[in-house]
Structure 1
């Protein structure tokens, strides 16, 4: 089956499962040794259907959180749309895709996801942060909440309603509460002095702005954003290793 994947997390996961991915977005960068030979047909928010049709795919893979609804409406070939917004929904979608592609590797990954869900939630230590890359400022207290930042100018955070939020929760971190429905709220950093700040390495390149962050005086760290947000193979392996 020839697949065009418009979801970076799924592209990596399908390739590791041995599925024939013939088209991808420019953000599908893993595994690097495999994607370099796969045609780029656009990004997660826009696509050239002419390029897609040239590849003669049997299926286009979309996700409701990653791709706009219009992409599904305009898709000229058969498509499958997942909806991953938590570890629980990831596990269910892995089963669904495993059955759809008749693929044992995806079914095994679904079992791994279920194992992760059944593991006890650990007590979070602010000085031992999973996915840690570099300190902005070492915490001086035992924070009860974390503020996970994905963008600057304006500052944007994630809520517990997101996949990242579910990962943080599974790792024992209490995410700052935001009004219901605000998945990626725009915030003022100074409004959250009692939260430990976790600056994601993507999509905003916080790791390259570490000197600017240190000047803010906030306590927290740079974390590997791929570990928290790439919801297929990558984050399941991250959670398995962290929770073992």
Structure 2
């Protein structure tokens, strides 16, 4: 079967499982050697329906948070839509995909995700957060919480009621994660105690690694963290949690 995937996480997962992905977004980067063979049909919020029709795929793969409602409503071909809010949402959807595509590897991924979801969670310290790429300023002994930043000007962060928050929970770090009712709230970093708060600056979507001097001047404990294993909810985050899970 031929699939067009407009979800970078699913594109990587399908390609790793040997699925024939014929169309993708311009943000579908992994795995590089295989993703390059699929035709770019747009972005996560925009799509060329002409290119979709030309590919004659069996179905279009979307996600409720990654893509727009209009993409599902206007699709000229069958579409399958995921809604991944937490780790527990992944196994059943992978089972659906595996059965739809008759793919044993996807079913295997589903079983492995289920084991991750059922794993007993133990706590870990802020000093042992997996995925840290670089400490911009040292971790203070007085730190009691962290804020996961995804944007600057304005400052925006990720709350605990997201897939990223679910990953931190399964890593034993939920007790430290600053929470808000909004999933991706705009914040003022000056509202946080500089002695008690660690700023985790994600590698995506904002290029924090280019703003190290600005981050140092803020006066917080601060680190650059690899955002992909925390937000790419398919095969990439599975390997990450299997390696680093509690």
Q: How many residues align?
A: 242
Give yes or no for contact 2:23–2:41 (8 Å, CA) kept in 1: yes
Give yes or no for contact 2:157–2:185 (8 Å, CA) kept in 1: yes
User: How far apart are 1:178 and its partner, in Å?
Assistant: 0.7
Q: Provide the C-alpha distance between the structure 2 equivalents of 1:84 and 1:6, rounded to a whole number of angstroms.
A: 14
User: How far apart are 1:142 and its partner, in Å?
Assistant: 5.2
Equivalent position of 1:230 in the other structure: 232
Q: What are the within-5 Å matches in structure 2 for residues 66-85 of structure 1? A: 66-85=66-85
Secondary structure of residue in 1 paired with 2:139: coil
5+ residue gaps, structure 1, are none
Q: What are the within-5 Å matches in structure 2 for residues 192-211 of structure 1? A: 192-193=192-193, 194-211=196-213
Equivalent position of 2:243 in the other structure: 241
Give yes or no for contact 2:197–2:220 (8 Å, CA) kept in 1: no
Equivalent position of 1:169 in the other structure: 169
1:204-225 deviations in Å (ceiling 9; x for gaps) = 1112322321121111211100
More divergent stretch after superposition (206-215 vs 62-71): 206-215
Equivalent position of 2:21 in the other structure: 21
The reply to whether residue 157 of structure 1 matches residue 143 of structure 2 is no
Q: Provide the C-alpha distance between the structure 1 equivalents of 2:53 and 2:142, rounded to a whole number of angstroms.
A: 54
5+ residue gaps, structure 2, are none
Secondary structure of residue in 1 paired with 2:199: strand
Secondary structure of residue in 1 paired with 2:127: coil
Equivalent position of 1:118 in the other structure: 118
Give yes or no for contact 2:4–2:24 (8 Å, CA) kept in 1: yes
What CA RMSD, in Å, does the superposition of the two structures yield over aligned residues?
1.3
Give yes or no for contact 1:125–1:142 (8 Å, CA) kept in 2: no
Secondary structure of residue in 2 paired with 1:204: coil
User: How far apart are 1:120 and its partner, in Å?
Assistant: 2.2
Secondary structure of residue in 2 paired with 1:100: helix
TM-score by length of 2: 0.95
Secondary structure of residue in 1 paired with 2:120: coil
TM-score by length of 1: 0.95
Give yes or no for contact 1:127–1:138 (8 Å, CA) kept in 2: no
Equivalent position of 2:57 in the other structure: 57
Secondary structure of residue in 2 paired with 1:65: coil
- Aligned in 2, Cα 1:230/1:190: closer, same or farther, shift over 3 Å? same
Q: Provide the C-alpha distance between the structure 2 equivalents of 1:216 and 1:119, rounded to a whole number of angstroms.
A: 37
Equivalent position of 1:2 in the other structure: 2
User: How far apart are 1:91 and its partner, in Å?
Assistant: 1.8
Equivalent position of 1:139 in the other structure: 139
